[in-house]
Structure 1
Amino acid sequence: MIDTDGLQWRKAAASTGNGACVELAPGGSEAVYLRDSKDPQGPVLMFTRTEIAAFVDGAKRGEFDDLA
């Protein structure tokens, strides 16, 4: 179980506010947490900063465009 107390969650500025987004929160020097904004008490995933950077890089290069 991940202790999420005190985490500062944020979502993309382009979020439409309909609750269908993901939120991320930094957790220490190496962790980044991710959750579903419409279920803030639900499951939380943890990634390393390296993993998040690889995902963001892939998204910027269009690797996931076929999924949208």
Structure 2
Amino acid sequence: MPTPEDLANVAWHISTKSENGGGSCVEAGPLADGSGRVAVRHSHHPDGQVIVYTRAEWEAFTGGVKDGEFDFPSP
């Protein structure tokens, strides 16, 4: 679990692909501690739960997104 100090200087980013440039989506940003870890949170609940991924986990996920591994069919 990240500490408040871990999250204090995160430069949060929202995808330009989100609804209206800031809709219901996630925000992600690297921790400022130099570890390479990436924090992820819900944009509508910035004070809520934060999940922290290692650099390797983040790169595996974003690589899968780029390769279309998460292109699920529409309901």
Report the TM-score when normalising by structure 1. Answer: 0.84
With a CA cutoff of 8 Å and minimum separation of 6, indicate the structure with the bigger relative contact order. Answer: 2
Which runs of 5 or more residues in structure 1 are unaligned?
A: none
Moved over 6 A (4+): none
Give 2:29's match in structure 1, choosing from 16, 25, 49.
25
| Aligned equivalent of 1:15 | 18
Q: Quote the Cα distance in structure 1 between the aligned partners of 2:73 and 2:58.
A: 18
**Structure with larger Rg:** 2
TM-score (structure 2 length as normaliser): 0.77
Matched residue pairs, number? 67
What runs of 5+ residues in structure 2 fail to find an aligned partner?
Answer: none
Q: CA RMSD in A?
A: 1.6
Q: Percent identity?
A: 40
